[in-house]
């Protein structure tokens, strides 16, 4: 399935058979699971997933790819359900129906973070997610407090999911080669009670404010959200910077503010 990539859509198609095999093994589709692939592109992962699994739903925005994908499903005699839409408008909960879903895909580089946040809104129906993104995004997703790349994305994702980087993917594995390294990461939703996030909207507000100006101390960054005394009552140092605070402390702070 050959297709011209579109720069405007951030398309880079996987072309290395050994790397494709590694990624499909990392996904490890099991009988009976409901798989949804975001951005199947030229079908590099779609084909082996259909060959092993027999059924797949794909979400593709590029209308020029719909006919080749349809042909691929027919060629393999597989059940391929194509949703022609912008993934950010797709209601994963409705798509899941009464069966939990697994999300997979090589996410378009230019909208990878919005897709991740969109998925967080539908976590109750998601079993896990295996995505390929720019390596620097995966580094941010998995970063620990104190790291230079620990930020809003790290905290928002880790509060709701276990984040596990799996495979580093070099530029040469793609056509055309991107200018950056990529990586495959697994996200597994945490049980609701694991970190005890009771105030999701307030949590998002706290985290957004804390990281809005990274050089500021929490006392200054969170001035409009809470007082230094409220932080001190929870053993959170108001003089600390956002990137030194653990995910669980942000959760505790939001819960306490919501209960106040």
CATH 1.20.120.140 fits 200-259, yes or no: no
pLDDT for residue 93: 98
How many CA within 13 A on the CB side of residue 167? 19
pTM of the model: 0.93
Rg from Cα positions in the chain: 20
Can you list the alpha helix ranges (DSSP code H) found in 148-199?
152-158
What's the angle, vertex CA 196, arms to CA 118 and CA 244, rounded to 5? 80
pLDDT for residue 239: 97
Task: Kindly indicate the confidence band of residue 108, based on its pLDDT and cuts at 50, 70 and 90.
Answer: confident
pLDDT tens digits along 110-130 = 899 999 999 999 999 999 999
pLDDT for residue 7: 46
Q: Where in the chain is the domain with CATH 3.40.50.150?
A: 7-189
Torsion over CA: 231, 236, 242, 246 (sign) = negative
pLDDT for residue 8: 43
pLDDT for residue 192: 78
Residue scoring higher pLDDT (204 or 5):
204
Q: How far apart are the C-alpha atoms of 54 and 33, rounded to whole Å?
A: 11
Q: How many residues does the chain have?
A: 260
CA distances 121 to 130, 207, 259, Å, are 17, 16, 23
pLDDT for residue 11: 57
Task: Kindly indicate the confidence band of residue 6, based on its pLDDT and cuts at 50, 70 and 90.
Answer: very low
65-70 contacts: CB < 8 A, separation 24 or more? Answer: 65/3, 65/40, 65/41, 68/1, 68/3, 68/42, 68/43, 69/1, 69/40, 69/43
Phi/psi region, residue 256 (left: phi>0; alpha: psi -120 to 50; beta: rest), is: alpha
| Residue of 140, 165, 134 lying closest to 152 (CA atoms) | 140
Q: Are 33 and 8 in contact (CB under 8 A)?
A: no
Task: Kindly indicate the confidence band of residue 260, based on its pLDDT and cuts at 50, 70 and 90.
Answer: confident
Q: How far apart are the C-alpha atoms of 228 and 78, rounded to whole Å?
A: 59
Q: Where in the chain is the domain with CATH 1.10.8.100?
A: 200-259
pLDDT tens digits along 56-99 = 999 999 999 999 999 999 999 999 999 999 999 999 999 999 99
Task: Kindly indicate the confidence band of residue 102, based on its pLDDT and cuts at 50, 70 and 90.
Answer: very high
Q: How many helices (H) and strands (E) does the chain have?
A: 11, 9
DSSP string across 115-147: HHHHHHTTGGGEEEEEEEEEHHHHHHHHPPTTS
pLDDT for residue 176: 86
Q: How far apart are the C-alpha atoms of 142 and 133, rounded to whole Å?
A: 12
Q: Which residue has the tokens 């306490």?
A: 256
Q: How far apart are the C-alpha atoms of 89 and 91, rounded to whole Å?
A: 6
pLDDT tens digits along 183-210 = 999 999 999 788 899 999 999 999 999 9
pLDDT for residue 22: 96
DSSP 178: P
Classified by CATH at the fold level, domain 7-189 comes out as Rossmann fold (3.40.50)
């Amino acid at each position: 399935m050959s297709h011209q990539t579109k720069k405007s859509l951030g398309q880079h198609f996987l072309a290395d058979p050994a790397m494709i095999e590694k990624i499909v093994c990392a996904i490890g589709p099991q009988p009976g699971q409901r798989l949804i692939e975001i951005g199947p592109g030229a079908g590099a992962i779609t084909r082996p997933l259909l060959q092993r699994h027999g059924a797949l739903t794909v979400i593709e925005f590029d209308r020029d790819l719909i006919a080749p994908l349809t042909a691929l499903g027919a060629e393999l005699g597989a059940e391929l359900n194509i949703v022609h839409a912008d993934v950010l408008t797709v209601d994963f909960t409705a798509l899941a129906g009464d069966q939990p879903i697994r999300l997979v895909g090589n996410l378009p580089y230019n909208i990878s973070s919005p897709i991740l946040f969109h998925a967080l809104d539908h976590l109750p129906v998601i079993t896990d997610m295996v995505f390929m993104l720019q390596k620097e995004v995966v580094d941010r997703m998995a970063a620990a407090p104190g790291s230079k790349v620990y930020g809003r994305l790290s905290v928002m994702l880790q509060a709701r999911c276990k984040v596990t980087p799996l495979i580093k993917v070099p530029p040469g594995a793609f056509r055309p080669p991107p200018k950056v390294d990529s990586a495959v990461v697994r996200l597994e939703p945490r049980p609701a009670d694991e970190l005890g996030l009771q105030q999701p909207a307030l949590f998002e507000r706290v985290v957004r404010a804390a990281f809005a100006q990274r050089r500021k101390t929490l006392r200054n960054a969170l001035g409009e959200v809470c007082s230094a005394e409220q932080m001190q009552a929870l053993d959170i140092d108001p003089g600390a910077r956002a990137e030194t605070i653990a995910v669980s402390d942000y959760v505790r702070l939001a819960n306490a503010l919501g209960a106040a």
